[in-house]
């Protein structure tokens, strides 16, 4: 074999080797790019899940805060009406303020708290003994605390039931 033949075989081998190496490199690069894209997608999904969870927690905190404010306002109005009845010194707006606060509790719910609020309003409309009033007030406070102290990860329930009978009186 001549030197030209050997040179041609060597050049051909180098060219074929380069082509094969290039093809494998291109395939490996494509796989790496695909893996990087999938990793990026997973990372983006994780970030979106974190943002969604954060927004949901913030919404739950706002709902609980609004409920807490509503329950406190109702309890304050109930205490004013109760004190007015015991002392005989009340304001003309005490009753309507209690009714407005009661309606707000009905809207916020849930059913256990609305029912306890209804019993407290009914008790204040009658002439209860101090023990009866304390019992009904404690029942409302326990129901409100139970609603406001949800286990971690549990969201407040939306109100779906109609208000208790007699709520519009």
Residue 163 lies in a domain: no
pLDDT at 163: 43
Do 121 and 98 touch, CB atoms closer than 8 A? yes
Q: What is the mean pLDDT of residues 148-161?
A: 55
Q: How many domains does the chain have?
A: 1
Residue 30 lies in a domain: yes
In a domain, 136, yes or no: yes
Confirm whether 158 is domain-assigned: no
Mean pLDDT estimate for the chain: 84
112: in domain: yes
Distance CA 123, CA 133 (A): 7
Residue 84 falls inside a structural domain:
yes
Domain of 82?
3-148
Task: Provide the 3-class DSSP secondary structure of residue 1.
Answer: coil
Query: In this predicted model, what pLDDT tens digit does every residue of 72-87 receive, in sequence order?
Result: 999 999 999 888 887 7
Task: Return the DSSP state at 167.
Answer: T
CATH number at residue 137: 1.20.120
Which of the two residues, 10 and 144, has the higher pLDDT score? 144
Query: 88 pLDDT exceeds 80?
Result: no
73 assigned to some structural domain: yes
Output the pLDDT for position 158. Answer: 47
Q: Assess whether pLDDT exceeds 60 at residue 168.
A: no
Using an 8 Å Cβ cutoff, are 97 and 144 in contact? no
Query: Is residue 71 domain-resident?
Result: yes
Sign of CA dihedral 114, 117, 122, 128: positive
pLDDT for 117 beyond 90: yes
Q: State the pTM of this model.
A: 0.63
Contacts of 85 (CB under 8 A, 6+ apart): 124
Coil vs helix vs strand at 166: coil
């Amino acid at each position: 074999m001549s030197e030209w033949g050997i040179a041609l075989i060597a050049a051909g081998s180098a060219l074929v080797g380069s082509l094969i190496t290039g093809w494998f490199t291109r395939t490996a690069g494509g796989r790496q790019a695909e893996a990087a894209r999938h990793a990026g997608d997973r990372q983006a999904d994780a970030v979106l899940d974190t943002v969604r969870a954060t927004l949901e927690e913030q919404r739950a905190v706002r709902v609980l805060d609004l409920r807490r404010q509503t329950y406190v306002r109702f309890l304050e109005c109930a205490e004013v009406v109760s004190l007015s009845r015991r002392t005989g010194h009340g304001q003309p707006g005490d009753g309507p303020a209690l009714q407005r606060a009661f309606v707000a509790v009905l809207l916020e719910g849930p059913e256990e708290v609305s029912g306890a609020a209804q019993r407290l309003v009914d008790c204040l409309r009658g002439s209860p003994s101090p023990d009866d009033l304390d019992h009904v007030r404690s029942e409302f406070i326990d129901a409100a605390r139970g609603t406001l102290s949800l286990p971690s990860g549990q969201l407040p329930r939306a109100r779906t039931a109609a208000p208790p009978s007699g709520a519009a009186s």
